């Protein structure tokens, strides 16, 4: 049986997290279908059809799916999903919202946030904020799975030539509606897709001081993140939070500035290739995971770093 992958998108572009989910799905089977559910999302469907390894693209184009409300999406995905062996989605806030509803409607478990595919029915996933790894075998006929993007390479956006098929069913539960959104606007790369991430913690002191991180980020083409302490203190918005309950990142280079290194934060970045820590407290736990540690006042070290890059 085939595998259904749910595309992450904003009605105009296919999001990178989908590509990591495709790679995970190739390890579960080889007949891959992608569902693009949205409104005016034809360009996304075309992009999905070009992804290497994809055999079919299903497009559900309706106003009911414009904001991917969980109440509507779950009914659509459950209806389609009953004919598949696996229903797979990236572990983004969109899919984490609707996919457990799909699992309940199909009367099966959801296996969340997998980091490895051991067999078509056996998966690894972090538990206890990444302090342990569970290997879980599914006993269900349909496996409903969310994929941690940083654990799988992105599939190529070229080389596929999947057929695009329209899905006519429209599910509008009529019990919820979209009111509005405040999305952060930035010219920098997305946190979860960036090759370099520079994050600030409580040591930054206030939100204005994040500008010194932004200067370094602009030189390195980096994304700017933050620890939970910095977000809770109101320095920066929640979408910048790196950690167990925020975003999970694994860039080539992660620079932690004024971050002590709580377990919660480490869970979100410890799979980065190279970790740099700049902190004036030489006892800070962040140094125990850093490849390069610099004990210094960040207000001296970060501007100097920016100059020397």
CB of residue 21 to another protein, shortest distance in Å: 14
CA distance 201 to 262: 11
- Compute the distance between CA of residue 307 and CA of residue 309 in angstroms, rounded to an integer: 6
Tell me which residues in 233-292 interact with another protein (CB under 8 A): 237-239, 244-245, 247, 252-253, 263, 270, 273-276, 282, 287-292
Q: Are 119 and 37 in contact (CB under 8 A)?
A: no
- Cβ 238 to another protein shortest distance, Å: 5
- Distance, in Å, from the CA atom of 241 to the CA atom of 229, rounded to the nearest integer, reads 9
Cβ of residue 58: shortest distance to another protein, in angstroms?
A: 21
- Taking the complex as a whole, the smallest distance from the CB of residue 163 to another protein amounts, in Å, to 30
Question: In the complex with another protein, which residue's Cβ is closer, 18 or 162?
Answer: 18
- Smallest distance, Å, CB 88 to another protein? 15
Residue ranges of the alpha helices (H) in 233-297? 263-269
User: Taking the complex as a whole, how short is the minimal distance between the CB of residue 160 and another protein, in angstroms?
Assistant: 25
Instruction: From 83, 117, 86, select the one nearest 99 (Cα to Cα).
Output: 86
Tell me whether residue 134 or residue 166 sits nearer to another protein (CB atom): 134
User: Are 93 and 66 spatial neighbours (Cβ–Cβ below 8 Å)?
Assistant: no
β 122-127/116-119 pair status:
antiparallel
Shortest distance, CB of residue 82 to another protein, whole angstroms?
A: 14
Q: Looking at 18-26, 35-43, 66-74, 201-209, which segment touches another protein (CB under 8 A)?
A: 66-74
Minimum CB distance to another protein, residue 165 (Å): 26
Q: Closer to another protein by CB, 162 or 265: give it.
A: 265
Distance of CA 47 to the CA centre of its chain: 19
Q: Cα dihedral angle (220, 224, 226, 232), rounded to 10 degrees?
A: 160
Residue of 161, 143, 165 whose CA lies nearest to 84: 143
Number of residues this chain uses to bind another protein (CB under 8 A)? 89
Nearer to another protein, 99 or 204 (CB): 99
Q: Are strands 54-61 and 32-38 parallel, antiparallel or unpaired?
A: parallel
Phi, psi of 35 (to 5 degrees): -100, 125
Judged by CB under 8 A, the chain residues 80 through 139 that form the site for another protein are 92-94, 96-105, 107-113, 122, 125-139
Contacts of 81 (CB under 8 A, 6+ apart): 4, 87, 102, 106, 142, 144
The answer to whether residues 247 and 269 touch, using CB atoms and an 8 Å cutoff, is no
Near another protein by CB under 8 A: residue from 6, 32, 58, 69: 69
Q: Which CB atom, from 61 or from 113, has the smaller least distance to another protein?
A: 113
- Tokens 């970790």 correspond to 275
CB atoms within 10 A of CB 39: 14
Residue range at the interface with another protein (CB under 8 A); choices 33-41, 58-66, 149-157, 294-302: 294-302
Interface characters, 166-185, with another protein (x: CB under 8 A): -------x-xxxxxxxxxx-
Q: Does 38 engage in binding with another protein (CB under 8 A)? A: no
Selected from 18, 74, 227, 260, the binder of another protein by CB under 8 A is: 74
């Amino acid at each position: 049986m085939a595998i259904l992958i749910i595309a992450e998108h904003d009605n105009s572009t296919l999001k990178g997290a989908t590509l990591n989910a495709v790679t995970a799905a190739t390890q579960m089977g080889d007949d891959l279908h992608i569902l693009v559910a949205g409104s005016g999302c034809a360009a996304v469907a075309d992009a999905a059809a070009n992804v290497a390894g994809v055999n079919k693209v299903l497009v559900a184009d309706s106003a009911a799916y414009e904001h991917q409300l969980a109440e509507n999406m779950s009914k659509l995905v459950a209806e389609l999903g009953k004919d598949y062996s696996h229903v797979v989605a990236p572990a983004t806030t969109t899919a984490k919202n609707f996919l457990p509803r799909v699992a309940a409607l199909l009367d099966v478990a959801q296996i969340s946030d997998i980091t490895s595919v051991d067999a078509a029915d056996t998966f690894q996933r972090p538990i206890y904020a990444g302090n342990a790894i569970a290997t879980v075998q599914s006993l269900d006929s349909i496996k409903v799975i969310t994929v941690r993007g940083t654990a799988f390479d992105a599939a190529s956006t070229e080389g596929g030539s999947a057929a695009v098929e329209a899905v006519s069913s429209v599910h509008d539960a009529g019990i919820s509606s979209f009111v509005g959104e405040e999305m952060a606007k930035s010219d920098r790369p997305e946190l979860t897709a960036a090759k370099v991430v520079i994050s600030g913690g409580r040591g930054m002191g206030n939100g204005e001081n994040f500008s010194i991180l932004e200067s370094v980020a602009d030189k390195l083409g980096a994304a700017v993140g933050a620890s939970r302490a910095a977000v809770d203190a109101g320095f920066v918005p929640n979408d910048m939070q790196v950690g167990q309950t925020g975003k999970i990142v694994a860039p080539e280079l992660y620079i932690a500035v004024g971050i002590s290194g709580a377990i919660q934060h480490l869970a979100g970045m410890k799979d980065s290739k190279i970790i740099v820590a700049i902190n004036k407290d030489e006892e800070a736990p962040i140094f125990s995971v850093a490849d390069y540690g610099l004990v210094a006042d960040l207000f001296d070290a970060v501007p100097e770093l920016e100059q020397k890059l």
